[in-house]
Amino acid sequence: MPIHCHSCTCTKTTLNRQYGPDPKFIKLVVNEIETIINIKHPLYMLRYSILTRCYNAKQSEYNAYQGKGIQVCDAWKQDPISFYEWCLKNGWEKGMTIDRIDPNGHYEPNNCQFLTRTENNKKAMRQNPVLRNVKLNKEKAAEIRSLLSDGIPGSELAKRFGVCKSTIYNIKNHGLWA
């Protein structure tokens, strides 16, 4: 019987199970700090999300990752414990995002770091000329928030306004967007 995520009956953990053991919890001690990783833990979901964006062709982000040849190193793909230990030893804190130092490189220890969401967004804007040149004013941001509240999907608004989905997310959550 498949293990389901904590909030519904979907089978989010199926992809993780393809790439290594999927125990109910893993107890790790790194730098004398004990961490319990289970399906509700942010690191579990982080590993799941990078595997999904790289290997699930049904995901909207697939073309930007596996579609460009981006992969997850075998150690992290096959052994979740090695991924969790690397994260805990390399500065992960709740709320941080994983970033590939070389945006064309793979998810692997020598090419990954942790950044805050703001730092990651600023880096994306510096590296992507399309994002760097897009500036939304307060009126456009208010219009986007209004359209979101009317139920229009963020992905549709991103296309309509010529911005990336993370910009829509930031506008929705009143973060940095210009």
Of 131 and 173, more confident? 173
Task: Please check whether residue 168 lies inside any domain of the structure.
Answer: yes
Task: Please check whether residue 83 lies inside any domain of the structure.
Answer: yes
Q: What is the pLDDT of residue 12?
A: 45
| Domain end point (choices 46, 69, 94) | 94
Task: Please check whether residue 119 lies inside any domain of the structure.
Answer: no
Task: Please check whether residue 104 lies inside any domain of the structure.
Answer: no
Overall domain count for the chain: 2
User: Can you give the residue range of the structural domain that contains 58?
Assistant: 1-94
| Domain end point (choices 62, 94, 126) | 94
Task: Please check whether residue 87 lies inside any domain of the structure.
Answer: yes
Q: Are residues 35 and 90 in the same domain?
A: yes
169 CB-contact burial (10 Å; exposed 0-12 / middle 13-18 / buried 19+): middle
Of 18 and 87, more confident? 87
Q: Are residues 20 and 89 in the same domain?
A: yes
CATH of the domain at 177: 1.10.10
The reported pTM is 0.59
Q: Are residues 85 and 149 in the same domain?
A: no
**148, two tokens:** 């979101």
Q: Are residues 144 and 80 in the same domain?
A: no
60 CB-contact burial (10 Å; exposed 0-12 / middle 13-18 / buried 19+): exposed
Going by the DSSP 8-state scheme, the letter that residue 103 receives in this structure is T
Q: Are residues 90 and 138 in the same domain?
A: no
Beta-sheet pairing, 97-100 with 112-115: antiparallel
Going by the DSSP 8-state scheme, the letter that residue 35 receives in this structure is E
| Domain end point (choices 39, 62, 94) | 94
pLDDT per residue as tens digits for the range 87-127 = 989 999 988 999 999 988 999 999 999 999 888 878 876 76
